Structure 1
Amino acid sequence: MTHADMILETKGLTRQFNGFTAVNGIDLRVRRGTIHALIGPNGAGKTTCFNLLTKFLTPSSGQIFFDGHEITKAAPAAIARSGVIRSFQISAVFPCLTPVENVTIALQRPLGVSFRFWKSSAMLIRLRERALELLDEVGLAPYADVKTVELSYGHKRALEIATTLAMDPVLMLLDEPTQGMGHEDVDRVTALIRKVSSGRTILMVEHNMKMVSSIADTITVLQRGEVLAEGDYASVSANPKVKEAYMGTENELLAH
């Protein structure tokens, strides 16, 4: 496997908070065109890792490379412009606007037209058409003009994925996309992620092991800020160290 296959790499990624090491020397390698899951017990450092990758936190030490270029010192906006887009849980959408309005706003960011779009009706029509295409892609076309606040929880998560897609991500970072969902919504969002992963790379933090087992090409298990194991689901779930880490917390790992 060559470096060219890697869309995202970290070397010795470390973050300390007042003497506590939340992430300790992580070497992460995310292969282009795959779905890569970060899992681990609570407090394992998964969210801190995400925050470091998107530069909401600055690493104490270590390096981050995206598409062969070092981005360790890049600003969050520059990282987003390069195509690393993080999906924020629901809070990223405006509840009083409709899904089509939410996606239209997200579409403007890469275009750099900000909120001036209403000056051109032709631009507005184009943006709305693209927004409707994205809503259709995530199964929300019938709800395009409903107030977002009225959508079900699962549909809100689908809208969140649509707004992330609107920013044309090369690498999508999904933070617990199935959190708080019932089985039906989990299955729907799993199928949706599989669908939108075509031609993209996805890195996700996820607790639902059944979902991870069905969708992830590679799984990195974190524990106490360090990589405990890595591989496909079969090898990771059979790893004695992983079983021990999950004992008493989430026997879910062993149940599937």
Structure 2
Amino acid sequence: MSDYILETAGLTKDFLGFTAVKGVNLQVRRGTIHALIGPNGAGKTTVFNLLTKFLKPTRGTITFKGEDVTWVKPADVARRGMVRSFQISAVFPYLSVRENVRVALQRPLGNSFHFWRSESVLDSLNERAEELVYAVGLQDFIHHEASELAYGRKRALEIATTLALDPEMLLLDEPMAGLGTEDIGRIAALIKRVAADRTVLMVEHNLSVVADLSDRITVLARGEILAEGVYAEVSANPAVIEAYVGTGHA
């Protein structure tokens, strides 16, 4: 078994003559938190959408757990164990926290939308739903409607519904976006906990969070990999400093 759970080779995406991602060779080691960073327009979101199969590459390959998944559909990739948070997971505002997680747990059973099924059938999922609610620190809100939750706690609920799919690899798209200082600390601690037994790849703008959480960092600029390494290495790299300062980022 390869040390790398996710790899790309020559990953490229063209849009009407504009190359947004050019020849990206990415390797994500199993059991790590890997961050994808870069200034605005670096191609991070495009790479992320290519990896999660919401864009088709112009050229290149994507390999997950040793299998070529370049042309595999998003739902099939999720079933193989690579799940994107905040996109697969849907939060229903007028269901309780536990009910939201319970709905997510129905997906692998193939009855996600069988709301008419016997309540006793759904009750069989309560124990696991409650475990996940506790895992993300929402036990005090288990019977609250999702609409009542503060923004940061909704993010935690979204992570819980994603974990219901039991992913081997979790992809997080800007998990700290829009969060206040207290919520950032809470979600960062949650990411660290859920990464204890799975791989995490995240796109994130908050560099202090990246520094605290990441085992390895890939820096993109103009659609290409500019640098890779631990935070101390990439943050001291003159090319990385120039890329950020030159685009108005300190």
Q: Please classify the TM superposition score into its range, dividing by the shorter chain length.
A: over 0.9
Q: 1:181 aligns to what? A: 179
Contact 1:117 1:123 in 2 (8 A): no
Q: 1:95 aligns to what? A: 93
Deviation for aligned residue 1:246: 0.8
In the alignment, the residues of structure 1 paired with residue 73 and residue 92 of structure 2 have an alpha-carbon distance, to the nearest angstrom, of: 25
Q: Any residues of structure 2 matched to 1:1-256 within 5 Å, and which?
A: 4-88=2-86, 92-116=90-114, 119-247=117-245, 249-251=248-250
In the alignment, the residues of structure 1 paired with residue 90 and residue 118 of structure 2 have an alpha-carbon distance, to the nearest angstrom, of: 25
Supply the AA of the counterpart residue of 1:210: S
Partner SS, residue 35 of structure 2: strand
In the alignment, the residues of structure 2 paired with residue 158 and residue 168 of structure 1 have an alpha-carbon distance, to the nearest angstrom, of: 16
Contact 1:90 1:157 in 2 (8 A): no
Supply the AA of the counterpart residue of 2:52: T
In the alignment, the residues of structure 1 paired with residue 24 and residue 148 of structure 2 have an alpha-carbon distance, to the nearest angstrom, of: 41
Deviation per residue, 1:199-231 (Å, 9 max, x gap): 100000000000000010000000111000000
In the alignment, the residues of structure 2 paired with residue 38 and residue 29 of structure 1 have an alpha-carbon distance, to the nearest angstrom, of: 11
Contact 2:96 2:145 in 1 (8 A): yes
Deviation for aligned residue 1:54: 1.2
Distance 1:134 1:105, change over 3 A: same
In the alignment, the residues of structure 2 paired with residue 93 and residue 18 of structure 1 have an alpha-carbon distance, to the nearest angstrom, of: 35
Partner SS, residue 125 of structure 2: helix
Distance 1:222 1:180, change over 3 A: same
Instruction: Return 5+ residue gaps in structure 2 as ranges.
Output: none
Q: Which moved more, 1:163-172 or 1:83-92?
A: 83-92
Deviation for aligned residue 1:173: 0.3
Supply the AA of the counterpart residue of 1:145: H
Supply the AA of the counterpart residue of 1:92: A
In the alignment, the residues of structure 1 paired with residue 116 and residue 3 of structure 2 have an alpha-carbon distance, to the nearest angstrom, of: 42
Supply the AA of the counterpart residue of 1:49: V
Contact 1:90 1:156 in 2 (8 A): no
Deviation for aligned residue 1:241: 0.2
Deviation per residue, 1:178-215 (Å, 9 max, x gap): 11111111111110000010110000000000000001
In the alignment, the residues of structure 2 paired with residue 230 and residue 178 of structure 1 have an alpha-carbon distance, to the nearest angstrom, of: 22
Deviation for aligned residue 1:94: 1.5
Distance 1:27 1:6, change over 3 A: same
In the alignment, the residues of structure 2 paired with residue 49 and residue 232 of structure 1 have an alpha-carbon distance, to the nearest angstrom, of: 20
Instruction: Return 5+ residue gaps in structure 1 as ranges.
Output: 252-256
Q: Which moved more, 1:167-176 or 1:241-250?
A: 241-250
Contact 1:15 1:21 in 2 (8 A): yes
Question: Normalising by the residue count of structure 1, what TM-score does the alignment of the two structures yield?
Answer: 0.93
In the alignment, the residues of structure 2 paired with residue 12 and residue 61 of structure 1 have an alpha-carbon distance, to the nearest angstrom, of: 7
Deviation for aligned residue 1:126: 2.2
